[in-house]
């Protein structure tokens, strides 16, 4: 079901953690069905909008408080990342990791089992009313994307493999690819998004990738908030997401692209269809960083 088609019996919009605590107390005492909504949505019924129950909407809890030494920030759960980026960029800062706080203060040393569960357990273990985030200096960065003709698929996948393995030692680099189908032109294409967390034009780590002929490009040095506007999705669409994790493997990557293209052929006449296959590398540097403040709950494949 579409999230906006779900009708709760009532909606409450708290502004403080104490109000959230009181709402939960009332719902539990009365065995009320309820759901919690931050700034996003989920596909499961009752996940972020209650079916005939109480929807606890946290969108008014959108505070941003930056510490005097500019190393930490308290962020409300009602934020979307774009707004957080805009607020932090005034101080040349950005978010590095997202620790936490629920009704109780949770960290890797206080309530470590709950801390582990919250980092990957979605909204199954509590209502987060404040995220205490570590900040790092960050000015403008290299980013954006280029689109390619699918005839370059083999060359692109080869470069994706190199960027995910031998070139992954560059901790400032990340990337992801997107295979998509455009119904208006009845055409498949590939786009590649590049990120380099320094204001470097054409970073050397992407040199071989950038030798492949492209059709369009919005690569540039810019602020994080402006980059976030590049891929804003229109409102009102039905969206379904699914994910798998696999080790870097060129043959499998190409097979996934083939399967995606074959499956789209059967549904491409669906009005308003918008689909894509996104592959993003999880670099070893990033995985190691997850362990600095406690292991993250995640599936292993």
122 and 200 share one domain: no
Q: What is the pLDDT of residue 41?
A: 65
CATH number at residue 106: 3.30.465.10
CB 142, CB 199: distance < 8 Å: yes
| 117: containing domain | 64-137
In a domain, 7, yes or no: yes
Total domain count, the chain:
3
181 and 252 share one domain: yes
Backbone angles phi, psi at 122, to 5 degrees: 55, -140
Q: What is the pLDDT of residue 293?
A: 67
Last residue of a domain, one of 13, 31, 57: 57
Closest to 138 (Cα-Cα) out of 87, 197, 84: 197
Per DSSP, which regions of 114-260 are E strands? 131-137, 141-148, 173-182, 187-196, 216-217, 220-222
Residue tagged 């104490």 (tokens): 18
Is pTM beyond 0.85? Reply is no
Per DSSP, which regions of the chain are E strands? 10-12, 34-37, 54-57, 64-66, 72-75, 93-97, 131-137, 141-148, 173-182, 187-196, 216-217, 220-222, 275-280
Residue tagged 């969108």 (tokens): 59
Return per-residue pLDDT of the chain as tens, 301 residues.
Answer: 556 677 889 999 999 888 888 888 888 888 888 888 877 666 677 778 888 899 999 889 888 888 888 888 888 888 777 777 777 766 655 443 332 333 566 677 776 777 776 666 655 556 677 777 777 788 899 999 999 999 999 999 999 999 999 999 998 999 999 999 988 888 999 999 999 999 999 999 999 999 999 999 999 999 988 888 787 666 666 667 778 889 999 999 999 999 999 999 999 888 878 889 999 998 888 878 777 766 655 554 4
145 and 286 share one domain: yes
Q: What is the pLDDT of residue 300?
A: 47
């Amino acid at each position: 079901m579409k999230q906006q088609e779900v009708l709760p019996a009532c909606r409450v919009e708290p502004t403080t953690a104490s109000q959230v605590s009181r709402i939960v107390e009332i719902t539990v005492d009365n065995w009320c069905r309820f759901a919690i909504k931050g700034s996003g949505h989920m596909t499961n019924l009752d996940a972020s909008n209650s079916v005939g129950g109480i929807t606890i909407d946290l969108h008014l809890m959108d505070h941003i408080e930056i510490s005097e030494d500019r190393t930490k920030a308290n962020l409300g759960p009602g934020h979307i990342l774009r707004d957080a980026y805009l607020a932090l960029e005034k101080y040349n800062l950005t978010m590095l990791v997202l620790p936490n706080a629920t009704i109780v203060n949770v960290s890797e040393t206080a309530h470590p089992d709950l801390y582990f569960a919250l980092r990957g357990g979605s909204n199954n273990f509590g209502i987060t009313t404040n995220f205490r985030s570590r900040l790092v200096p960050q000015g403008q960065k290299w980013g954006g994307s280029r689109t390619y003709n699918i005839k370059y698929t083999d060359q692109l996948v080869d470069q994706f493999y190199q960027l995910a393995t031998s070139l992954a030692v560059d901790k400032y680099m990340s990337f992801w690819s997107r295979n998509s189908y455009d119904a208006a032109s009845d055409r498949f294409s590939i786009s590649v998004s590049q990120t380099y967390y320094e204001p470097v034009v054409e970073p050397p780590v992407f040199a071989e990738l950038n030798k492949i002929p492209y059709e369009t490009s919005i690569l540039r040095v810019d602020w994080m908030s402006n980059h976030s506007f590049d891929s804003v999705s229109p409102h009102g669409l039905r969206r379904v997401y699914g994910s798998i994790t696999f080790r870097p493997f060129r043959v499998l990557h190409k097979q996934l692209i083939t399967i995606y293209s074959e499956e789209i052929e059967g549904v491409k006449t669906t009005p308003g269809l918008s689909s894509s296959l996104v592959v993003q590398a999880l670099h070893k540097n990033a995985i190691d960083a997850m362990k600095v403040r406690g292991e993250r709950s995640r599936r292993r494949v």
